[in-house]
């Protein structure tokens, strides 16, 4: 039994190192994009994502405000709100968990109190509590990559791992969609036991779904 435990722990450690290396390469590629490329990608991504039946049929969508070189979400957020969707945005807590508030438009975003080195924008409305995400019909997830099985690579902070665990504990079954650049759909993402697959990925050039 101890031998099997050592093998399991070794595999987990190798996957952690592989994730770190892949994150480094993907973040470098994002930083290399010029502002014009990012704006073009954001507009195309909004159009692709809005065509998803999972979003078209959703009453409540949990989303996020993109930061830095992430695929832009601001156009998508405003389009979802204009379409009559209730859009929930995350509020970063001191312990790296996420609270939620309703998005009231571009003028209602403020810089986060616990942003660290990144400039995070959060909704200024009343906080609804971490459980509010369980009311969403669709959850848009940030990420760095996804593979052909739907396994998503996040930034490693753990905030969305908690979100996914919360959804599972509550028995909630929203559509999980990750938003990426085209080159971030990769052959294989290293996975750990806590990782969850997504149902779809939207990129500027199209949408791909994964079997459950």
153 is in an annotated binding site: yes
Q: How many CA atoms lie within 13 A of 10 on its CB side?
A: 6
**98-157 tens-digit pLDDT:** 999 999 998 899 887 655 556 788 998 899 999 999 999 999 999 999 999 999 998 878
115 is in an annotated binding site: no
70 is in an annotated binding site: yes
20 is in an annotated binding site: yes
Question: Could you give the residue ranges of the DSSP H alpha helices within the chain?
Answer: 2-31, 35-50, 53-56, 74-82, 159-170
**10-30 tens-digit pLDDT:** 445 667 788 889 999 999 999
d(CA 197, CA 212): 8
d(CA 64, CA 123): 10
Determine the pLDDT at residue 191. Answer: 83
Determine the pLDDT at residue 90. Answer: 96
152 is in an annotated binding site: yes
48 is in an annotated binding site: no
73 is in an annotated binding site: no
Q: How many CA atoms lie within 13 A of 178 on its CB side?
A: 29
Most confident range (mean pLDDT) of 83-87, 92-96, 105-109, 194-198 is: 83-87
3-state secondary structure of 100: strand
| CATH architecture, domain defined by 2-209 | 3-Layer(aba) Sandwich (3.40)
Question: Does position 188 have pLDDT exceeding 60, yes or no?
Answer: yes
Domain ranges in the chain are 2-209
Indicate the pTM of the whole model: 0.89
**Contact 50/89 with Cβ under 8 angstroms?**
no
157 is in an annotated binding site: yes
19 is in an annotated binding site: yes
Question: Does position 7 have pLDDT exceeding 80, yes or no?
Answer: no
Determine the pLDDT at residue 149. Answer: 92
23 is in an annotated binding site: yes
159 is in an annotated binding site: yes
127 is in an annotated binding site: no
């Amino acid at each position: 039994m101890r031998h099997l435990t050592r093998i399991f722990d070794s595999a987990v450690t190798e996957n952690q190192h592989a994730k770190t290396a892949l994150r480094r390469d993907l973040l470098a590629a994002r930083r290399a994009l010029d502002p014009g490329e990012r704006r073009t990608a954001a507009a195309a991504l909004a159009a692709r994502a809005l065509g998803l039946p999972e979003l078209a049929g959703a009453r409540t969508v949990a989303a996020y405000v993109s930061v830095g070189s992430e695929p832009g979400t601001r156009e998508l957020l405003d389009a979802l709100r204009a379409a009559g969707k209730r859009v929930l945005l995350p509020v970063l807590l001191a312990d790296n968990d996420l609270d939620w508030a309703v998005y009231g438009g571009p003028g209602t975003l403020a810089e986060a109190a616990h942003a660290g080195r990144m400039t995070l924008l959060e909704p200024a409305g009343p906080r609804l509590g971490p459980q509010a995400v369980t009311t969403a019909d669709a959850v848009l997830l940030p990420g760095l990559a996804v593979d052909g099985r739907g396994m998503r690579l996040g930034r490693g902070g753990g905030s969305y791992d908690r979100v996914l665990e919360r959804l599972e504990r509550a028995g909630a079954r929203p559509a999980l969609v990750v938003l990426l650049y085209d080159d971030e759909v990769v052959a294989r993402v290293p996975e750990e036991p806590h990782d969850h697959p997504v149902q779809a990925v939207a990129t500027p050039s199209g949408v791909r779904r994964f079997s459950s």
